[in-house]
Amino acid sequence: MTGARGGRLPTAIDEAMQKINASVHIDSMLWREDIQGSVAHTAGLLRAGVITADEAKGIVAGLSQVASEIDSGKFVWDAAKEDVHMNIEARLVEIAGAVGGKLHTGRSRNDQIATDLRLWIRSKLDAIVAILDKFALVLLERSESEIDTLMPSYTHLQRAQPSRLSHHLMAWQEMLWRDRGRLVDARRRANESPLGSGAVAGSSFPLDREAVAKDLGFDSPMRNSLDATASRDFLMESASALAILAIHLSRIGEEIVLWCSQEFGYMVLSDSFSTSSSMMPQKKNPDVAELVRGRSALCIGSLTSLLILEKGLCLGYGRDLQEDKRPILDAVESVSVSLLALTGALATAEFRREKLQAALEGGHICATDLAEYLVVNGVPFREAHHLVGGLVRQAERLNCTLRDLPRDILEAAHPALIAAEAIDVLDPTKSVERRQIFGGPAKVRVLESISNAKVRWSGSG
């Protein structure tokens, strides 16, 4: 942010230039972090002997007053002062006098904004992880309460094999667990301090960057002053993690939309998370899920914007980076509100168990079980697959289920199919319980999965 007016450019700038130059309308969101960083920098200047204890005290007191004015809404942001940094510094000088002008010693707006953004994204990622934890808890609670609710699993949106609702909800949870890991990783890599890097080449003042980093809760100072001020990969990584999370939320939203349709009828959202039509009085729309799907587009766009923003920049700082704030703000806000909305929607939704159970009766959903039964009776799987596929065609021609096929048709296909246990394998309830492999939908495995997930999520903080 080396574009500040000063002795080199004393003439007033053009109105159009002022509009494109000013960023305070968006970066004022960073005022807390800016003041936090300034307080730490003041302590660093005092340790380095650049300012006296009385001067440091006056600066910190002035910054405290500025913070109080902003927090109470009394502060007037001035676009002519370009950004959050100059607005705060100008007010500090008004309050503390000339000593306020010493605050900027040994730093640039380049390392200042990079520090602000790292402090900001660190706190936002922490907040999103906390919301995500609550959403996961709801999924675990619903998985436990619906442990005996069976449903079809799907591939290609076609009924595939018998499963249970809890297994499906736990699949959502597994995606979110990986999302949590990505957010935590992004937070860890963002937790380095650029402060003291100056505009590009550090400072000649003996600033203790390690101490300043510690004061701000960073793990360490960044190792290279050029990299510290020129790179926004920490925002790209955060936006990437948020975009992947948003896509997972969108997929959950899509399933909610389908399940709430009359064609599926698997669930009903509470009125608190639904809307009606302005024209059709019978409608109850799952708008919460649709809006979450829509918000994912903003997150993908935010990531794309940040990637392209830095794509063509040489090192070090370029003013293009001023445009890094709106995309990450949109991504953070979109994911936060989506998580909160889905948490409430899933906590209060009703699953229609009878509809889920009834769906197991269509689509020849135990065909794989019948093929596996033939394998147990010595038939190679590929042959068994072909044989059962032929039986499915005959059942569809006769408009019946595999279980209801005439005895002579089953016997003609293979003698083992007329045994009682052959018909038994076509029971969806028993089919689910046979799938006790690790990660499968059998009740004992899903309960085990829920128990393990509770330990993971509760110990992840």
Given the residues 72, 156, 204, 278, the one annotated as active site = 156
Q: Measured between alpha carbons, how far is 340 from 127 in angstroms, rounded to an integer?
A: 11
Known active-site residue 277: yes
Given the residues 277, 386, 451, 458, the one annotated as active site = 277
CA distances from 429 to 100, 150, 151, 188 (A): 74, 8, 10, 46
**SS3 at position 118:** helix
Q: Which residues touch 97 (CB under 8 Å, ≥6 apart)?
A: 58
Calculate ∠ Cα 294-290-352, nearest 5°: 155
The torsion angles phi and psi of 378, rounded to 5 degrees, stand at: 95, 5
Known active-site residue 143: no
**SS3 at position 46:** helix
**Buried/exposed code over 402-419 (b: 16+ C-beta within 10 A; e: otherwise):** bbebeeeebeebbebbee
**Buried/exposed code over 153-163 (b: 16+ C-beta within 10 A; e: otherwise):** bbeeeebebbb
CB 139 within 8 Å of CB 167? no
The torsion angles phi and psi of 221, rounded to 5 degrees, stand at: -75, 155
DSSP string, 275-306: B--SS-TT--B-HHHHHHHHHHHHHHHHHHHH
Annotated catalytic sites, by residue?
156, 277
